Structure 1
């Protein structure tokens, strides 16, 4: 079904989004998240940094639905098959979600993509809609939180290993560690260093302390953590965490967690979070160190 065949309510207009509309889109997604999960996880910085990636063409990859000048729904295709969409809660039940899903499928087909998937809170209106449209669950994700006042138990590193802030010389090796680790289970193209740099160092508010590395006695990067503090609350969250395969089971991941959350507390964070999904097998690690599930998401996908 094409977007033209789906029902778009009369009086609404559509066009690609503009980079100047990051705040309007943040407010739209935040309203949907608050309705579905009771908490806002999205930050405007997430949108700005994603849109800064050289590989991403916002005009060719997004659609906004407007009621007059007000953005009331949107959809966007990021990379190979990652879709995102949102509908303002007051505009639900009018067929906008179905229209957006159709638009995304058509865009994916035009690019030769074999599957399009989207993260949605488990049991939410979006989850129910995609299930009704025939989307299957590809994987489950958990947002995990470390309660205020609780700390992850420290764990000694092997002799002469260290966890510290990354230096300029660490950045490209750290990117390799992250990509090698994530591509063990993630079915996507390798992210270029330029895209990584745009979404990391180019992120609004980025500071050097956000980039943590574990190094071996020779100074080689063997583990990486990217930790940020939310602009909406004093919450630290780890955006990415990885350890080189040959260096696992040495306590490096736990040491990076301890370091990341501690340095974030020094910069004003009072709670700490991260997310993981069923492809990584890491849920039990985080639960063992005292983190608890705050919300559950599913990635629903459809074959094209």
Structure 2
């Protein structure tokens, strides 16, 4: 998954996050950023590859735990790539336990992907200005089954339609009798040869009709038309969506684990 300035801005605009108290930066002697962390129920600790092995990750993780306790959080959560064995060992040594598995999936497109015929009564079109609030409502309703809290429109928009990388032409909406029943929100990173699907959702009463498959292939096709030769998306074990993505031909590029520690 690609990180862009819009993603970083959305992180630091989290509703409960106070940048003066909830973020920490470590600079090297030349003034370059060596490591960073933020904490707000979840936490993120990142160390530049050139500065690893110097104890910066351990120091920032200790800072994040202390700040979470000070803020009255009941637990702290951190995501680590499964291949980063040193980070996994560090978290386990500090009492963190696995909670959720996350996967980054990819769909390779050396040739133009086919788009299936829509289910009866379903139409699909690209995202248009004015679709924002209806898409937010649909997605948050669909995600209520597993997410811990709903995002307000303002918070959701910062992560999706207000990001510089938002790609409305490669985002697809599905309708039944004029009502929105499915959405795939996409991001485009011009410096790569692949697109990214930020969110996929189908209204519960219209699931198991092939709408998600249709939305995905519509997005794949749109990205291919723009010269992208792969499309990626992220999911995790609480959504129950992994099998769907595997059935449409996606494969797992890499996996991560979300660790938690009760404070």
TM-score normalized by the length of structure 2? 0.90
Match of 2:220 in 1: 261
Deviations 1:163-208 (A, max 9, x none): 1123344321211111122221122x21110112223232124343
Where in structure 1 are there 5+ consecutive unaligned residues?
1-39
SS at match of 1:146: strand
Q: Name the CA shift for 1:56/1:216 in 2 (closer, same or farther; >3 Å).
A: farther
Shift of the alpha carbon at 1:53?
5.4
SS at match of 2:131: helix
Q: Name the CA shift for 1:110/1:102 in 2 (closer, same or farther; >3 Å).
A: same
Moved more, 85-94 or 148-157: 148-157
**C-alpha distance in 2 between matches for 1:151 and 1:279:** 32
Shift of the alpha carbon at 1:269?
1.3
Shift of the alpha carbon at 1:84?
0.9
**C-alpha distance in 1 between matches for 2:167 and 2:15:** 21
Alignment partner of 1:272 out of 201, 207, 231:
231
TM-score normalized by the length of structure 1? 0.79
**C-alpha distance in 1 between matches for 2:145 and 2:98:** 20
Q: Name the CA shift for 1:129/1:231 in 2 (closer, same or farther; >3 Å).
A: farther
Alignment partner of 1:73 out of 35, 38, 41:
35
Q: Is the 8 A contact 2:110 2:229 kept in 1?
A: yes
Match of 1:241 in 2: 200
**Which structure's relative contact order is higher, taking Cα pairs within 8 Å and 6+ residues apart?**
2
Q: Name the CA shift for 1:150/1:299 in 2 (closer, same or farther; >3 Å).
A: farther
Alignment partner of 2:108 out of 143, 147, 169:
147
Match of 1:91 in 2: 51
1:47 aligns with 2:8: yes
Q: Name the CA shift for 1:249/1:150 in 2 (closer, same or farther; >3 Å).
A: farther
For residues 6-25 of structure 1, the aligned pairs below 5 Å read none
Match of 1:102 in 2: 62
Q: Name the CA shift for 1:198/1:56 in 2 (closer, same or farther; >3 Å).
A: farther
Q: Name the CA shift for 1:155/1:83 in 2 (closer, same or farther; >3 Å).
A: same
Match of 1:134 in 2: 95
Q: Name the CA shift for 1:193/1:242 in 2 (closer, same or farther; >3 Å).
A: same
Match of 1:220 in 2: 179
Match of 1:197 in 2: 157
Q: Name the CA shift for 1:205/1:288 in 2 (closer, same or farther; >3 Å).
A: closer
1:292 aligns with 2:254: no
Where in structure 2 are there 5+ consecutive unaligned residues?
none
Q: Is the 8 A contact 1:144 1:274 kept in 2?
A: yes
Q: Is the 8 A contact 2:17 2:39 kept in 1?
A: no
How many residues align structurally? 261
Deviations 1:263-293 (A, max 9, x none): 1222231111111111111111111111111
**C-alpha distance in 2 between matches for 1:150 and 1:279:** 32
**C-alpha distance in 1 between matches for 2:256 and 2:15:** 28
